[in-house]
Amino acid sequence: MHPAYSVIFFTTASGAGLGLIVWLGLANLLGLLPAMPSFGYFTVLVALGLLSIGLLSSTFHLGRPERAWRAFSQWRSSWLSREGLAASATYLPTLAFAIGWDRLGDNSGYVALAGAVAALLALVTLYTTGMIYASLPTIRAWNQPLTAPAYIVLGLASGAVLMALMLAVFDYVPTWAVWLAITSLAAGWVIKRLYWRKIDSDKPRHTVGQATGLGGLGQVRPLDPPHTMPNFVMREMGFEVGRKHACKLRHFAVVLAFVVPAVLVVLMLAGGSVINIILAVLAVMSAAAGLVMERWLFFAEAEHVSMLYYGREAA
């Protein structure tokens, strides 16, 4: 599949914002956050900013962006519509959490409940995003059990690194935040390894014989190409990345998305306030670069069954 940069940016940015909302709501329930209302306001602003920028960027992938609102009406059958509804629903309790904390000067009671609801809706949104791809039987690499969980775990991992940065900005780097980031990053690395192992070991599900309905007559092969010029299907569905290049990119993605941020976050335990902010910023930048690379591979390594009509023998 041709990697769509608007969708790559959307899933990376919104995933981090949603992950930050999840950890913000849960940490508040456990009484782990600093008491300053400004921390809640600032963190919510960053989280919703990333979510909003990601949602807006996703519309650039549409042929008619002005019609994006119509996707909300198809929630009975479309995971894309469910994602839009879940993401929109996340705004209200998240804002209620920040505003309530500021006006009441207290982050317990109904304010904490709003944060918990926001965290739950953020998790639901991450799941619906993953299911957009997992529900497509035409793409073997996506249509498998690990796709949706991977989206959730990677969103939580990037959100945990962002949480460390938010706490560092307010000169508060507790041990739990460091361990949260390390554990989340380790979980992200594990699930990506399992995902890559799965798509590498899975056998093709469809052949050109099945696609044409002529498989019962023997070996099927096309005599002529379907088109003499590249078309939309060939450009969007026929994108391929060499196996050698994919392996290198996987290694780079693992180092940037998981290893480097984990090391930088650990160093925050021994740093001062300014040093911790620098370390946290570098960790966020590294994680973002690695996740963009991982998401690019997610699309580039996917094979669409339509290419069986364009010379591919199996998919």
State the Cα–Cα distance between residues 79 and 132, nearest whole angstrom.
5
**Residues 9-50 pLDDT 10s:** 888 999 999 999 999 999 999 999 988 889 999 999 999 999
Residue 222 within a domain: yes
pTM: predicted TM-score of the whole model, two decimal places: 0.91
Q: What share of the chain is helix, strand, coil (3-state, %, to 5)?
A: 75, 0, 25
User: CA 139, CA 308: separation in Å to the nearest integer?
Assistant: 12
State how far the Cα of 279 lies from the Cα of 267, in Å rounded to an integer: 8
| Residue range of the domain that includes 71 | 5-310
pLDDT at residue 63 tops 70: no
Is residue 146, in this structure, part of any structural domain at all?
yes
DSSP 29-61: HTT-S-S-HHHHHHHHHHHHHHHHHHHHHHGGG
* Residue 150 pLDDT greater than 90, yes or no: yes
- Distance, in Å, from the CA atom of 201 to the CA atom of 194, rounded to the nearest integer, reads 11
Task: For residue 205, tell me if it sits in a domain.
Answer: yes
- Is 201 domain-assigned? yes
What distance in Å separates the CA atoms of residue 277 and residue 97, rounded to the nearest whole number?
Answer: 25
Q: Of 247, 252, 238, which is closest to residue 299 (Cα–Cα)?
A: 238
**3-state class of 101 per DSSP?**
helix
Average confidence score pLDDT of the chain: 88
Give me the CATH number covering residue 156: 1.20.1630.10
Q: How confident is the model at residue 244 (pLDDT cuts 50, 70, 90)?
A: confident
Quick check: is 199 in a domain? yes
pLDDT in tens, 246-289: 899 999 999 999 999 999 999 999 888 899 999 999 999 999 99
Q: 8-12, 24-28, 85-89, 164-168 — which is least confidently predicted?
A: 8-12
Non-local CB neighbours of 295 within 8 Å, separated by 6+ positions = 3, 8, 11, 12
The total number of structural domains in the chain stands at 1
* Confidence bin at 234 (pLDDT 50/70/90): confident
* 262 occurs within a structural domain: yes
315 within domain boundaries: no
How far is the C-alpha of 49 from the C-alpha of 31, rounded, in Å? Answer: 25
Does 145 fall in a domain? Answer: yes
